[in-house]
Amino acid sequence: MKKILFKLLFGLMVIALLPVQVAQACSAFIVGKDLTTDGSMLYGRTEDYPYAPDGGRHNQNFVVVPAKDYKKGDKIEDESNGFTYPHLTHEMKYTATYDAARGDGSNGNFGAHGFNEVGVSMTATVSATPHDKILKADPLVKDGLPEASMIDLVLPRAKTAREGIEIVAKTLDEKGSAEGNIIVVADKNELWYMEILSGHQYVAIKFPQDRYAIFANTYYLGHVDFKDKDNVIASKDVEAVAKKADHYKTDKDGKFHIADSYGPDEYTERNRSRTYAGITLMDPKADVKYDDQHFDLLRKPTDPSKKYSLEDVFAEQRNRFEHLKQFTADDLAEPGKKVDTKKYKYALGNENVIDAHVYQIKKDLPSPFGGIVWLGLAQSRNTPYVPFYGLVNDTYGAFKVRSAKYDPTSWYWAVWHIDQMVMKYPDLFGTSIQDKWKEMEAGWIKEQAALDQKYSGLTDEQAKALQGEVTKESMDRADVIFKQIKATEKEMEDKIREEKGLEADFVYDGYNKANLMAAAEKGGSDKKPETCQEALGDYL
């Protein structure tokens, strides 16, 4: 108990030291098929883990959950908050990227994202905080639906993207929500965006294919037509609760504005910086200013001929204000010194990212394939994005290692370690590692396009028959890539040893600046610690 209390106190101390809120930190994007170079739908998210003392250091496992039959009375039981929900008699196979700490009695599963066997995909969630007045009118529910169970609730059940949203809506009506959240659910025909606004209120829209969106940890929906049942799914009391809370807001035309009514009065700096960076990267001539009251969700590029590629959205998730010279990523601030919050901002490609993913949904691929997930475990700024079909029935062994600390056999930990060395020794590595991955990704994109062509036009039954072949292809490619990752890791260690000496820090304990700042404050010193071990001492 003492240890738990100590960790809580330490976490609060770190939050106090940071210039902005750290409790939520994911960000996401959507690009409709009319705006992409190949006509595919693109969406994705970076999952951030900003919690001290392990900020940005939280192992993830990319796995396949087999189809399963259940007995009457069997149910989902979420260890994070006590949420329960009955299992179906039969539930479908799906992929997920779980927290390695799942099952320890406190963490929860946090499946994050995945495909199911009929091609429905999902990312969950981008957390969001309802306005205090809203929470008084419709409080969150302690054992309501949490982020930790979202993937395990939807993907085993949903046959279409719309049905995925309807499953969540029904659960919220019955059980309520434990958190404010944003989710995305897609199939080969359409994509849905949903904001969970309070304990029992929600609005989802079918995303228009001629728009793109950038969103962080807050609400963005403006006015929607609740009568348009084909394109909108909403709780019946969305407007009534806003009025009850005395926080009913309208747009310039006098129409109900969802985000202004349910969200905070102002964006936090972390939400503002990431949304603004994403919009201006995707559309440098966008009519937005950093201090705008709110950023519209549904956007069109200023150039009507603009089309977005996979490389564009990888760059969005990696972005560290390279295009905004007035800003610097706040994980580069000097530990122990006062942070200039006008200069240092929270970046999309920040130190806390533990899982970056991009879903590419192609209409010509048979439904069992789902599409392609481009998976980048650990920090997006220095991870390779590797493609996998949703059809696979197994994943490479390095994705399954569940160690809570660095393990050389783990995909997550190997890439995490590479990132830590890059950030510890920028004079040695600069952008060379990211450049290396980009060159490799260009080759994978070409290879993947050829595979997509090979499998396009198959019937669903033909596709299912190829599951073993496709799984072997993914295993073989993952094996080659992991060996390249490990070779890169060793080359970096050799270079550090050669340039910095045999006693150099190889950063196996991590190099998270938020934790270093907290440690510097603890010691009352402005001196930058030489190693994370030195900085954190008995916190490790």
**Active site residues per annotation:** 26
Residue 88 DSSP code: P
What is 285-331 written as a DSSP string? T-S--TT-S---SSB--SSTT--B-HHHHHHHHH--STT-TT-EEGG
Cα→Cα distances 182→128, 188, 421, 472, Å: 7, 20, 33, 34
Could you tell me which residues are beta bridge partners of residue 212? 31, 299
Cα(454)–Cα(443) distance, integer angstroms? 17
Amino acid at 241: V
Q: Which residues contact 256 (CB under 8 A, 6 or more apart)?
A: 223, 239, 242, 248, 249, 250
Q: Give the burial string for 439-463 (b: 16+ CB within 10 Å, else e).
A: eebeebbeebeebbeebeebeeeeb
Cα(249)–Cα(251) distance, integer angstroms? 7
Residue 529 DSSP code: P
The dihedral built from the CA positions of residue 521, 524, 530 and 532, taken in this order, carries a sign that is negative
Residue 46 half-sphere exposure, CB side, CA atoms within 13 Å?
34
Q: Give the burial string for 64-86 (b: 16+ CB within 10 Å, else e).
A: bbeeeeeeeeeebebbbbebebe
Compute how many other C-beta atoms are within 10 angstroms of the C-beta atom of residue 338: 9
Compute how many other C-beta atoms are within 10 angstroms of the C-beta atom of residue 30: 28
Of 289, 385, 286, 380, the residue nearest 329 (C-alpha): 380
Q: Cis ω on the peptide bond leading into residue 302 (within 30° of 0)? A: no
Q: How many residues does this entry show for the chain? A: 540
Token pair, residue 300, equals 């069109």
Token pair, residue 195, equals 């904001």
Of 32, 27, 40, 44, the residue nearest 385 (C-alpha): 44
Residue 499 half-sphere exposure, CB side, CA atoms within 13 Å?
13
Cα(347)–Cα(328) distance, integer angstroms? 8
What is 333-387 written as a DSSP string? SPTTS---TTTEE--SS-TTEEEEEEEEE-TTS-GGG--EEEEEES-GGG---EE
- 285-291 contact pairs (CB < 8 A, 24+): none
